[in-house]
A and B are shown apart, each in its own frame.
Chain A
Amino acid sequence: MRLWIYIVRRAALLIPVIIGVMTITFVLVSALPLQERLVSYYGPNPKVPYNPEVSCQKLGIDKPGNCRNPFYYNGLHALGLDRPIVVQWGIYIFNSLTFNWGFVGNGTGAAGQIPLAAGHPVVEVLGWFLPYTLELAALSLIIILAVALPLGNLSAVNRNRPVDQAARVMSFSGYALPQFLLGTLLLMGVVLLIVGTLGHSLYCPATPGNSPYFDFSGSWPPSNCFANNAYPSWLQKGQISSPTGFPTIDAMIHGQWLLAGDTVLRIIIPALVIAFGTIAVLLRFVRNSMLEVLNLDFVRTARAKGVAESTVVRKHAGRNSLNVTITILGLTFAGFIGGFPVIESVFNLNGVGRLLAYSVTLTPYDFGLIFGSTILFTFLVVAANIIVDVLYAYLDPRVRLG
């Protein structure tokens, strides 16, 4: 019971954070030209320009001269742009909280528009892409925990010895290696390796032509890499049902186990690359907190009781340092999520990050998507923090009962 009170209290503390983030985006949105704001909230309407007055004929009114542009004035009023800034802020916050994040525009980039997305609500488009990001995040979190915890414990126990030094160098490389460089090199390596032997590769280079959502060529499936041939074409919008939106789970529901394996294989290397950076951060904290815990009195008590050293490290010290680790994981989650645009671009994965990366290369920028994905990422970070709090309370009876 007290656990629930604790969780609700922690979650309530995060509401100001969400509102604060939206306030920051509001400040930035307010600095945009009026037309950009209207586009991102009312969708592109190429027929009617955003002038206050347009030619009456364009509006279909059989009258000479200029008429009031209803689109312009309605948008202005709906966003409260003709009212005080506080009201505008209120409307913005309300819109953001009710997932009214505007519409995808029809900006063009190096490879054209996002054909399937233009004119759709931002939330809906982000919803198509989010499952891919979540799958990638889940896989890399598993890798992070599976590597950072044992390795951190190992290097704390063997402090300043070869294992520790190796872990330290690995950790520093994780800080210092640019993810996109590592990702691209791995991608090219894999392509070279597999292309040389099999003639095709699981991994596709990041060209817009290789993805169902970023495909403009009209030819489907694109033919130059294996992954997209096997790629679930029924996931393309409107072809076959996609009950959950998660490609792996959908493939399993449809009974296509090879396809499920394929989607997992496709995200293993990106997940490793993302994990590498976060492992670097986490490893140091696991090691240091473990070192601190190993010096505490109760560890000495456990040793004095005759408990085997491995159990001392795993049970008595490990459980205590796990709390610190989880807290740090919550804190680094923003940085972790921040790596997604890069990695998804490198490996051409259809995640939110890729969408964001694409939307900043369009001309004009697609502000609906940019701000929408920022708010979405913030939601993810906040959700991660809530999960961390719950885990923390679950693991530590002092929080749970005290």
Chain B
Amino acid sequence: MLAPTQEAPHTPAPRARRPNPRIAQFRRTWYFFRRNTLAMVGLGILIFFIAVYGFAFFYPAPATQLQTYQASQGLPPSNTSIFPEICTYTVGSPAPLPSGCYPTPVGFPSVIGPTTALSPLGLGPLPMGSLTINPGNIQFYDIFDGLIKGTDWSLTIAFGVVASGALIGVVVGMVSGYFGGVVDESIMRLTDIFLSIPGLLLVIIVLAVFAPEITSIDTRVALIIGAFVVIWWPTYARVVRGQVLVVREQRFVEAAKAAGAHSGRIIRKHIMPNSIYPVFVQMSLDVGSVPLLIAAIVFIGFQIFPNQNFPEWGTIAAYSVSFNVVQSFITACQTASTCTIPWWQFLFPGLALFLFAISVNFFADGLRDALDPRLRR
């Protein structure tokens, strides 16, 4: 409460020293963000994924990700697990299934249930099971390993795409919005052009033209990032331009101009800080859809990575529902009276994609609501 003790009637009451406006803005945003349950859940999941990302960096090399077991060889050579049962089961073999395996009907390729997968770290049984790569010559792919290592590749690509896309988009959008006129018009036409090609197609044609000759993984990933940036920069350019157009008309920019500040300074000091927040929101939205798009591209059969065992979420998820897996399942179910749904194959890779995408969406939505005063309350 205000204590009306001061002598001069019209001076305001003494108040606590004003905090730094940036910090106050941050506090305010954080206050609204914190009250949004979904946003906090999103933030939690996101932090988990980033922790896994850091961990995956030190995870064993991809050599252990594909273990090839010949049915005739019996137990795999690296089996030092406390669970000796391994499902090695030749299609159509009359021998009984080892215990711990899922019962599968005749004609349906063998799949290993979640309890028997092995970890290369020797941690024992892992909860995610395996993916059957090659039904005839049984190859198992440890989904857990794939997903952990996949975090590394998926998030690297996603963050790479979003960061470089945003960088290009911010620069272009700033220039476009600030200078206006012919520059603005031509840049906006350019973004129109890019936005009217479906993103999936543009990525495919860029990769189809340039990728076949590239064999090195790193170069290939760089090319993939580049292809995605081609489709993503226009979005950022538009977002930034829209913001700049609003901010540019504000009084403080006019004041700075009147005070003789040059364009670079105005952009850096006044326009940039006031129009950057929507870019953060857009970035967090997009970071989730990059792995989804990769998965879609892999799913339609386009070889985006050198082999189909490449540890990347989208690749694993797409393979788990690719037509020979589904087809064998359906034929099995059509011919046999009972059949097992290899649910772990669909669930875990799908869950990784879904959780990551939905967490960044929750996060972005909470951020937008917290930042936009009109949507508050």
Residues of A that sit less than 8 Å from B by CB: 16-17, 20-21, 24-25, 28-29, 31-32, 110, 168-169, 172-173, 175-181, 184-185, 187-188, 191-192, 195, 205-207, 224, 288, 291-292, 331, 334-335, 337-339, 341-342, 345-346, 356-358, 360-361, 365, 367, 370-371, 373-374, 377-378, 381-382, 385
The 8 Å CB contact of B301, one of A29, A32, A173, A357, is A357
Residues on A with beta carbons closer than 8 Å to the beta carbon of B199: 334-335, 338
> How many whole Å from B305's CB to the nearest CB in chain A?
14
Can you pick out 22 interface pairs between chain A and chain B where the beta carbons lie within 8 Å of each other?
A24-B197, A173-B354, A175-B289, A176-B292, A176-B355, A178-B292, A188-B326, A188-B330, A207-B323, A337-B198, A339-B296, A341-B201, A356-B204, A356-B300, A357-B300, A357-B301, A358-B301, A367-B208, A374-B202, A378-B197, A382-B196, A385-B196
Residues of B that sit less than 8 Å from A by CB: 38, 189-190, 192-202, 204-206, 208-210, 285, 288-289, 292, 295-296, 299-303, 317-318, 321, 323, 326-327, 329-331, 333-334, 341, 346, 350, 353-358, 361-362, 365, 374-375
Give the nearest-CB partner of B323 in chain A: A206
Q: Are the CB atoms of A334 and B323 closer together than 8 Å?
A: no
Residues on B with beta carbons closer than 8 Å to the beta carbon of A382: 196
Give the nearest-CB partner of B37 in chain A: A165
Q: A17-B192, A17-B193, A176-B357 are in contact. Are A205 and B333 (CB under 8 A)?
A: no
Q: Are the CB atoms of A180 and B299 closer together than 8 Å?
A: yes
Give the nearest-CB partner of A344 in chain B: B300
Docked pose: A72 CA to B10 CA in angstroms? 92
Q: A20-B190, A341-B200 are in contact. Are A175 and B334 (CB under 8 A)?
A: no
> How many whole Å from B292's CB to the nearest CB in chain A?
5
Most chain A CB within a 10 A radius of its CB, from B196, B355, B365? B196
Q: Are the CB atoms of A177 and B354 closer together than 8 Å?
A: yes
> How many whole Å from B20's CB to the nearest CB in chain A?
31
Residues on A with beta carbons closer than 8 Å to the beta carbon of B317: 178, 181
The 8 Å CB contact of B300, one of A176, A181, A341, is A341
Docked pose: A173 CA to B356 CA in angstroms? 11
Q: Are the CB atoms of B327 and A205 closer together than 8 Å?
A: yes
Q: A31-B209, A331-B195 are in contact. Are A20 and B189 (CB under 8 A)?
A: yes
Q: Are the CB atoms of A360 and B292 closer together than 8 Å?
A: no
Residues on A with beta carbons closer than 8 Å to the beta carbon of B205: 25, 28, 370-371, 374
Residues on A with beta carbons closer than 8 Å to the beta carbon of B375: 288, 291
The 8 Å CB contact of B198, one of A181, A371, A381, is A381
Give the nearest-CB partner of B354 in chain A: A176
Q: Are the CB atoms of A21 and B196 closer together than 8 Å?
A: yes
Count contacts between A and B, CB distance < 8 Å.
Answer: 166
Q: A188-B330, A206-B323 are in contact. Are A342 and B300 (CB under 8 A)?
A: yes
Residues on A with beta carbons closer than 8 Å to the beta carbon of B353: 176, 178, 181
Give the nearest-CB partner of B289 in chain A: A175
Q: Are the CB atoms of B296 and A179 closer together than 8 Å?
A: yes
Residues on A with beta carbons closer than 8 Å to the beta carbon of B285: 175
Residues on A with beta carbons closer than 8 Å to the beta carbon of B321: 180-181, 184-185
> How many whole Å from A116's CB to the nearest CB in chain B?
20
Residues on B with beta carbons closer than 8 Å to the beta carbon of A288: 375
> How many whole Å from B375's CB to the nearest CB in chain A?
7
The 8 Å CB contact of A173, one of B190, B318, B350, B358, is B358
Q: Are the CB atoms of B289 and A187 closer together than 8 Å?
A: no
Q: Are the CB atoms of A342 and B296 closer together than 8 Å?
A: yes
The 8 Å CB contact of A176, one of B296, B334, B361, is B361
Residues on B with beta carbons closer than 8 Å to the beta carbon of A206: 323, 326-327
Closest CB pairs A-B (n = 10): A338-B198, A20-B193, A176-B357, A357-B300, A176-B358, A361-B301, A184-B321, A338-B200, A180-B299, A360-B302
Docked pose: A64 CA to B125 CA in angstroms? 71
Q: A185-B346, A385-B196 are in contact. Are A370 and B208 (CB under 8 A)?
A: yes
Q: Are the CB atoms of B296 and A180 closer together than 8 Å?
A: yes
The 8 Å CB contact of A224, one of B295, B334, B356, is B334
> How many whole Å from B239's CB to the nearest CB in chain A?
12
> How many whole Å from A4's CB to the nearest CB in chain B?
23
> How many whole Å from A113's CB to the nearest CB in chain B?
15
> How many whole Å from B200's CB to the nearest CB in chain A?
4
The 8 Å CB contact of B210, one of A31, A173, A205, A371, is A31
Docked pose: A241 CA to B233 CA in angstroms? 47
Q: Are the CB atoms of A178 and B354 closer together than 8 Å?
A: yes
The 8 Å CB contact of A205, one of B189, B300, B330, B350, is B330
Q: Are the CB atoms of B198 and A188 closer together than 8 Å?
A: no
Q: Are the CB atoms of A180 and B326 closer together than 8 Å?
A: no
Q: A205-B326, A338-B201 are in contact. Are A32 and B209 (CB under 8 A)?
A: yes
Q: Are the CB atoms of B197 and A207 closer together than 8 Å?
A: no
Q: Are the CB atoms of A377 and B201 closer together than 8 Å?
A: yes
> How many whole Å from A50's CB to the nearest CB in chain B?
17
The 8 Å CB contact of B329, one of A17, A188, A337, A381, is A188
Give the nearest-CB partner of A203 in chain B: B330
Residues on B with beta carbons closer than 8 Å to the beta carbon of A374: 197, 201-202, 205
Q: Are the CB atoms of A365 and B195 closer together than 8 Å?
A: no
Residues on A with beta carbons closer than 8 Å to the beta carbon of B194: 24
Q: Are the CB atoms of B292 and A334 closer together than 8 Å?
A: no
Give the nearest-CB partner of B360 in chain A: A176
Q: A188-B329, A377-B197 are in contact. Are A178 and B295 (CB under 8 A)?
A: yes
> How many whole Å from B157's CB to the nearest CB in chain A?
16
Most chain A CB within a 10 A radius of its CB, from B197, B210, B303? B197
Docked pose: A206 CA to B325 CA in angstroms? 11
Docked pose: A291 CA to B333 CA in angstroms? 49
Residues on A with beta carbons closer than 8 Å to the beta carbon of B361: 172, 175-176
Docked pose: A394 CA to B321 CA in angstroms? 45
The 8 Å CB contact of B358, one of A175, A185, A331, A378, is A175
Residues on A with beta carbons closer than 8 Å to the beta carbon of B195: 331, 334
Residues on A with beta carbons closer than 8 Å to the beta carbon of B193: 16-17, 20-21, 24
Q: A175-B357, A370-B204 are in contact. Are A345 and B299 (CB under 8 A)?
A: yes
Residues on B with beta carbons closer than 8 Å to the beta carbon of A168: 38, 365
New A-B pairs, 7, CB < 8 Å, besides A188-B330, A192-B333: A16-B189, A17-B192, A288-B375, A334-B195, A334-B199, A338-B200, A370-B208
